Amino acid sequence: MKINTSKNDLKDTGISVSQKDFYNSFVEMGFPNKKKEDWKFTDLDKILNSNFDQLIQLKEKVKFKSEKIFDFDHYSITNLNGALIDYDLFRKGSIEAAQTLFTEVNHLKDHSIFFGAPYNLTPGRPTAELHAKKDQMLSLNLSFVDRGYSFQICEDLEKPLVIYNYYDHDLQDKMINNTNSIRFENSKCTIIEVDIDKSKSAYFKNTFQRYEIQDSEVNYFFINLKKSKAFNYTNNTININDLNAKKGSKFNCFIFGSGSKFRKDDYEISLNKENSFAKINSAAILKKGEHQEVKTTMFHSKPHCKSHQKIKNILQDSSKGIFQGKVLVSKNAQKTDAYQISKGLILDDNAEFSTKPELEIYADDVKCSHGSTSGSIDLNSIHYLKSRGIPEKEAYQMLINGFLCEILEKLSEGKIKNFLKEKLERQINGY
């Protein structure tokens, strides 16, 4: 794969002098392949067999019509092709300005939001310069990033905040690199991030996101709603750094993904204070050669912390689902409670579900476990339901629904739970 330019020809690329080293590092390394452990199930270089141009000077102010997706009251942030174009939460006084991560800052007057060119973003790492030389996707992001946002939530939000990520217009062979940052302090809130691809284009998106959580409870939902030809990589870094060790912060994450040609979501979660809790649940319905990977790393550095992970995939039509989950427990993290489980329901012989669960434990007083299963629908159960007068197709749909809805039943957000149940049932009815 080639990106519109060569190592020695950086003219007309939008790359600044300060970004040149990052770009050269990326050129030397190339895209990740199976030789790198974190990418052992995916050769990205072979997948991205097109030439991608940098997405610069995009006309985001062209006519654009958003969709009404949720029928419940909520705050909103709207992005178009990775660039922020509208927001209403900031007019309510719920958000205060945070120290920006960006070196070139455009301050929207009278509103507490920053966006710009954050080439020096350090997503949970000591220095970008140090880690970009080892991380191809970070190097690429730091080379071309020109859009993103940063803000802080420092009080409870009475309504969910929905982040709408629209992709529209002709994005064929384009590349989007963006970075986002949210800091939560003494707050309880629900964040719903929604990807809506209306472009019908094959483009590449490389996103880095950083969440700082301090004395807060964050319920985060990611939802992909439309079929997409895009290639998506997202690195999510979540740092829990409480001041109140007795209380402990919570990060509850739910991922609902389907319809993406290629998607890899990388979650790096650090539990840096006692009594912290992180949970990741994921449900995916994959068809027609779709590829989705969830990779998680749970860093337990303090005692009395919990992390729970449950991943479920339904696969058919040569689709591929992947889960890589690592739990790392330091010697100081006594009384750790951590488990991860991944399950794949494979509906035809051409589908594939790969897992790589890991436990790396240096403490001696912990409760940790992992497990993984995959298989087809139990024909005995189908036979039983048919014997009770249930048609075969409906019997299959009932078992598929039961497989996924186990995760949904534990959601505390009633309106969101109902919304996701409806979306899942519609997709399941297609089987």
pLDDT for 217-266, tens place per residue? 999 999 987 788 999 999 999 999 877 656 789 999 999 877 788 999 99
Angstrom CA distances, 414 to 191, 309, 352, 411, 420, stand at 14, 21, 33, 7, 10
For the ranges 121-125, 282-286, 339-343, the lowest mean pLDDT is seen at: 121-125
Rounded to 10 degrees, the C-alpha dihedral 23/28/33/36 comes to -100
Average pLDDT over residues 204-227: 91
Q: pLDDT band for position 302 (50/70/90)? A: very high
Q: Do the Cβ atoms of 257 and 292 come closer than 8 Å?
A: yes
Closest CA to 354 of 34, 2, 1: 34
Q: At 343, which amino acid appears?
A: K
Average pLDDT over every residue of 293-302: 95
Q: Indicate whether 301 pLDDT > 90.
A: yes
Q: What is the spatial distance between Cα 19 and Cα 14, in angstroms, rounded to a whole number?
A: 9
pLDDT at 72 over 70: yes
Neighbours of 236 (CB within 10 A): 22
Neighbours of 310 (CB within 10 A): 17
Give the separation between CA 49 and CA 366, rounded to whole angstroms.
Answer: 45
Q: Would you list the domain boundaries of the chain? A: 17-377, 378-431
Quick one: pLDDT at residue 58?
54
Residue 118 scores a pLDDT above 60: no
Q: Is the pLDDT of residue 275 over 80?
A: yes
Q: 31-45, 111-125, 151-165, 211-225: lowest mean pLDDT where?
A: 111-125
pLDDT for residue 114 is more than 80: no
What tens digit of pLDDT does each residue of 319-341 get? 999 999 999 999 999 999 999 99
Q: Give yes or no for residue 119 having a pLDDT over 50.
A: no
Taking the C-alpha atoms of residue 74 and residue 97, their distance in angstroms, rounded to an integer, is 21
Average pLDDT rounded to a whole number, residues 7-22 = 58
Contact 352, 323 (CB under 8 A): no
The Cβ of residue 379 has, within 10 Å, a number of other Cβ atoms equal to 8
Burial of 126 (0-12, 13-18, 19+ CB in 10 A): exposed
Task: With beta carbons less than 8 A apart as the criterion, state whether 187 and 214 touch.
Answer: no
By C-alpha distance, which of 204, 59, 216 is closest to 144? 204
Supply the pTM of this predicted model: 0.87
Using a 10 angstrom Cβ sphere, with 0-12 exposed, 13-18 middle and 19 or more buried, the burial of residue 110 is exposed
In this prediction, residues 2-18 reach a mean pLDDT of 52
86 pLDDT exceeds 90? no
pLDDT band at 193 (very low <50, low <70, confident <90, very high): very high
The whole-number pLDDT of residue 165 equals 92
> How does strand 174-185 pair with strand 291-300?
unpaired
- Which one-letter amino acid corresponds to residue 164? Y
